[in-house]
Copies of this chain bind each other. A is one copy, B any other.
Amino acid sequence: MRRLNFVTTRAEQRKQTESRILTAARELFGEHGFDRTTVRMVATRAGSDPGLVMRYFGSKEQLFAQAAAIPTDGTIEGTPDEIATHLTAALAGKLADEPVTALAALRAMFTHPEAADEVRKAMTAQQRQIAGQLPGDDALVRSGVIGALTLGLVISRHLVKLDGLDVPTEQLTAIAGPLIEELVTGSRPVE
């Protein structure tokens, strides 16, 4: 591709191109999923060439693996109350703006077995990690429900675009926060 920048070394050029391809791939995998995104589409959006995509990333599969990594929340520790706060904050982050990288993995996981495995692994790990610090013998189930609630909200808002959820993030966390707290502590609401 004819570069417009004035001074760029070959190595920089290469890095920039790889980066443009990766960005385009992330966006497109997130928009259309794995199967409906073609190498040609990625190359075109990156202002590049299908052959170059293959040369740099090996295969469409490997390109996807690099583009659709699942961001983890990291270790969450503390008292149940602190955990609840942390989880609610993490949820807020996921609801705030479109998590492009995660969307690719989310979209793909329903048709792409490897992507599904990765989502499962990521969710299972976090779920176990959290459950270990929660009271109650059904802690694992409850932390699973937290994961399900989070997943459901992210999908409903960003993928389904359910119009009832098209409200400020704070309003959603104000509603979901207490639910998470309840799931973390294992307490029941008093009616």
Chain copies in the assembled complex: 2
Which of A1-9, A29-37, A56-64 touches B? A29-37
Is A70 engaged at the interface, CB distance under 8 Å to the other chain?
A: no
A100 at the binding interface (Cβ < 8 Å):
no
Interface presence of A17 (CB below 8 A):
no
**A25 interface contact, C-beta 8 A:** no
A residues sitting closer than 8 Å to B (CB atoms) are 32-33, 35-36, 106-111, 116, 119-120, 123-124, 127-128, 131, 138, 140-145, 147-153, 155-157, 159-165, 167, 171-172, 175-176, 178-179, 181-183, 185, 187-191
8 pairs across A/B with beta carbons < 8 Å? A106-B110, A108-B110, A123-B160, A127-B164, A131-B164, A144-B165, A152-B152, A179-B182
